[in-house]
Amino acid sequence: MPVLLAPDRAPVLPQLLQRADSVGLGCKITNAPGADTLRIAGLGSLTAAGGSEISFLSNPRLADQLQGCRAGAVILRPEDWQAFQTQHPGPVDWAVVLCAQPYLLYALLAQWFDQHRLANLPQGIHPSAVVAADATLEAGVHVGPLAIIESGCRIGAGTRIGAGCVIGPDCDIGRDSLLHAHVTLYHGVRVGARAILHAGVVLGADGFGFAPDPRTPGAWAKIAQLGGVRLGDDVEIGANTTVDRGAIEDTVLGNGVKLDNQIMIGHNCQIGDHTAMAACVGVAGSTTMGKRCVIGGAAMFGGHLTLADDVHISGGTAVTSDILKPGRYTGVFPVAEHTAWQHNAAVIGQLAQLRKRVRSAERAAASGQPTHNKQDTR
């Protein structure tokens, strides 16, 4: 149980669904004559939840876990509930919350419990924090131990700045954002509302920009990085991920962008709304990525590339040219559409066998003897 409220502070089931912003999901409570008095104090798995917790079923293959479930309520699709009733016609001890998107409803409930947790954490400015006299902190801002907020910053209402964070000059952070410990924002970084920046995030470090300097063999002249970093609303960035500032224009992450841990976004990149990247992705400078792209772990992007909207890149793929058509792309050798890559990969798995057959045929041809190969040569 990740969160557990005191019984007198736990909402009853209908209240919880309302507070968790489940509007539009078509939720319906059934099999629960006492739902109006059933208090839900936390979340739990189907196998571990207790009578004051709510659980969910999103994968029908786990339906057997409903047997013996001791949760107070379970979220599941109507068809899954009907299938379970058909196989197990007896009564169950938990309230049923019917919802077409149980995993999404679970996510919204988890958000509500987490927001409740955050609201009960300490408020105010820790005595060891350093806040510039001309910084603007709106209502409800919390600044943790040893954090630094430099001149000209504006911190939106309800935002929490964790221990040891450094917010450089003239930064702007939107309301209700959460910066975990040791986040660093260089000067002039703009962060939208409801951002979540995990420990070790660095926004606005210099991009990797150097010009060859022939006056000294092999030397490089630094190109001053004069742009900034700009994040939209509802952006989440994982631990130890870095986003470099632009050389002239800003590096931009759109609304709802989600970055996992240990990702590197180079200078002047433009990442479209609601694009998500798994861990260890590297994006070289001046790459433009469309909206709703999904990037698998450890994928790598050469610089100055363009990706269309709705492009999915499989993990470990190296992208070295533009992708201008939506779809899924995969490759450990030059990138290709996923279906074509699968056909090529199947052939690669048979290369050793094909090599033996070719060499056998070559030897037979050289000796003038007929080839007797009964294997399938398709």
Residue whose C-alpha is closest to residue 330's, from 318, 321, 320 = 318
| Residue 322, token pair as written in the block | 């533009």
Residue whose C-alpha is closest to residue 11's, from 2, 1, 20 = 20
Q: d(Cα 345, Cα 368) in Å, to the nearest integer?
A: 34
| R_g over Cα of the chain | 28
User: What's the CA angle centered on 257, arms 251 and 263, to 5 degrees?
Assistant: 70
Q: d(Cα 19, Cα 40) in Å, to the nearest integer?
A: 12
Task: Tell me if residue 249 falls in helix, strand or coil.
Answer: coil
- Amino acid identity, position 243: V
Question: Could you tell me if 325 and 307 are in contact, meaning their C-beta atoms sit under 8 angstroms apart?
Answer: no
Residue whose C-alpha is closest to residue 259's, from 224, 217, 289 = 289
Question: Could you tell me if 269 and 250 are in contact, meaning their C-beta atoms sit under 8 angstroms apart?
Answer: no
The residue written with tokens 């632009």 in the block is 246
| Residue 8, token pair as written in the block | 């007198």
Q: d(Cα 171, Cα 156) in Å, to the nearest integer?
A: 11
Q: d(Cα 84, Cα 313) in Å, to the nearest integer?
A: 37
| Burial state string for 132-159 with b = 16 or more CB within 10 A and e = fewer than 16 | eeebebeeebbbbebbbbbebbbbbebb
Task: Tell me if residue 74 falls in helix, strand or coil.
Answer: strand
Catalytic-role residue among 267, 304, 312, 343:
267
Report the DSSP pairing between strands 202-205 and 184-185: parallel
Residue whose C-alpha is closest to residue 245's, from 263, 262, 230 = 230
Q: d(Cα 247, Cα 266) in Å, to the nearest integer?
A: 10
Q: Does residue 88 carry a catalytic annotation?
A: no
Residues known to be catalytic? 267
